[in-house]
Amino acid sequence: MRRDLPQKILVRAPNWIGDAVMCEPAIRGLRSLFPEAEVTMLAKPAVAELFSAAPELNRVVVYEDRGAHAGLSGKWALAGTLRRHGFDSAVLFQNAFEAAFLAWLAGIPQRYGYATDGRVFFLTMPVAVPSRSRAVHQVEYYWNLLKPLGLLGEAPLPALRVTEDEGRQLDGRLAAAGVGLSDVVIGLNPGSTYGSAKRWLPERFAEVAQRLAERVGQDESAQVVVVILGARGEEVLGKDIAARINGRSVVLSGATTIRELMAVVKRCRILLTNDTGPMHIAAACGVPVVAVFGPTDSRTTAPYGQKQSIVREAVDCAPCLLRECPIDHRCMTRISVEKVYEACLSGLSRLSSPDRTDQIDRIDKPDQPDILSGYTVFLDRDGTLNPDPGYIKSPDQFELFPGVPEALASLKRAGARLIVVTNQSGIARGFLSREDLDAVHMKLKQLLDGAGAPLDAIYFCPHHPDDGCECRKPNRGMIDQAVQEWGVTLDRSYLIGDHARDIELAKRIGARSILVTTGVVSPRDADTLKVSGSAPDRIASSLAEAADWLLSDADRLSTQVRERRVASP
């Protein structure tokens, strides 16, 4: 690692669960900026639990603000603990004065954060707060904080990881409540710790849930159960709603840890919720959300990437951001059962489209058998198939982006050969072994095999960037090996990746290229690629969109070939 780069970074996380989820892309972005640094998060207990399995973090330190770290003596003790870690930099996503003061008290030399709450004196690198004249989503607010450090592009979707063990434990708990693995789970989150102003009416939650359960059960001939979630203190609310539902329900209000809540939410087919932390958790787990908004501003706190999920009523007094409504709560009482129910049906229909960004209108197409026969699709791994937290060292850290298996299966059904080509310099850097990488790739293969999208091959470059090898992208060594071993025809190949080096490699081998903006490069960075002469043939917001375009493009090219043959004498 270069000595001028930070080697030990302290990240101060936001205090609220929803804010912490919206901060997750920025934490991932920080790791991409400093892949070799040791990154430690300081967070309050609930947020610490949320990130306990985050692969982009080396450790999480719990800020016990109501226990050992309460009061001035507690703050002094916490500062001492941080001092012993020897941090050289602090990135403060938490905006309070206290966050900067603690970093200063801990003797951290470089302290970086927004210049809020009169804390400029304690920041060595203050960043100007964005103008309030333009509503900026919180995901982008946190992401933009890092742009002066060199972070490029637009924020990706938040992504949370539930471990396989946590999923199995949740399945066992639901089984004990009579919920089978094949049962469809509809999630309700009717409460809000922020205040009653954010809560839609309980009886309307119940009516939508019952109608939805009946509809899904009838359409899919499935057993359906409504699972009601909530924080401690919302048990009575959960039981009241369950009593109004004429069907199967399970009340988990106040009965889950944060990690258990994540596992439950991920099991849901859809989550109907107020504007709360679980809403953001669901979106980050790839679960369709329908969110009822009243006094809060959906422009800044809507589930990122699910704009269509918002249900709200335009009233003059909203958004007021008040915890309690001083008048007639019209922002909520005017939202009808029918309006929310229709939004839920729309959310369920989006299940057939794995693209969570909703930046294009996708049209279901019939399979196109053999349209890709003889074609090879080269695929980057990190940032293209899966979130890129830095160096993935074990299978438990590996999880595909939502929609990837389905997208690759559509290419496979069309006759394509699928080959992964990935730089894995973490081996040369000592962050993981070849055995570690083999275990990760075994999981990758298992996930895709089970979805009907088996890979034909995986090639990786284990070398350090300074080694000057011929296989590290954008060099073509891995592609040449595939040509030799698989008889690949390069003028009948595509390359899909998330980085400029992927597009440059495609140019070098004569393949058509697709840049997906799920990783480090965004549509705004496309101008840079154009200047360098490495513009992709297509920019896609997800692998699902990339696959759709690829199929259409291959069909167009084959049509042109047929027309030329017909036209030739």
What amino acid positions are annotated as catalytic residues?
Answer: 380, 382
Q: How far apart are CA 83 and CA 77, in angstroms?
A: 10
Residue-by-residue DSSP string for 413-430: HTT-EEEEEEE-THHHHT
Burial class (CB in 10 A: 0-12, 13-18, 19+), 46: middle
3-state helix, strand, coil in the chain (%, to 5): 45, 15, 40
319: preceding bond cis by omega (within 30 degrees): yes
Residue 345's closest CA among 208, 157, 482?
A: 208
Q: Kindly state the tokens that stand for 140.
A: 């982008």
| DSSP state for residue 91 in the 8-state scheme | E
What are the two backbone dihedrals, phi and then psi, of residue 248, each rounded to the nearest 5 degrees? -75, 135
Q: Kindly state the tokens that stand for 183.
A: 């049962």
Name residues whose C-beta falls within 8 Å of residue 453's C-beta, 6 or more positions apart in sequence.
405, 408, 409, 411, 412, 418
Q: How far apart are CA 189 and CA 212, in angstroms?
A: 15
Is the distance from CB of 506 to CB of 536 less than 8 angstroms? Answer: yes
- Whose tokens are 């859809």? That residue is 270
Residue 110's closest CA among 135, 91, 130, 129?
A: 91
Q: How far apart are CA 277 and CA 193, in angstroms?
A: 9
Q: How far apart are CA 47 and CA 64, in angstroms?
A: 11
Is the distance from CB of 543 to CB of 404 less than 8 angstroms? Answer: yes
Residue type at position 36: E
Is the distance from CB of 459 to CB of 422 less than 8 angstroms? Answer: yes
Residue 453's closest CA among 497, 495, 403?
A: 403
Is the distance from CB of 266 to CB of 287 less than 8 angstroms? Answer: yes
CA 139 to chain centroid:
11
- First and final CA of the chain: distance in angstroms? 64
Residue-by-residue DSSP string for 36-47: TSEEEEEE-HHH
321: how many CB neighbours lie within 10 A of its CB?
11
Residue 373's closest CA among 519, 499, 528, 558?
A: 558
What are the two backbone dihedrals, phi and then psi, of residue 426, each rounded to the nearest 5 degrees? -60, -25
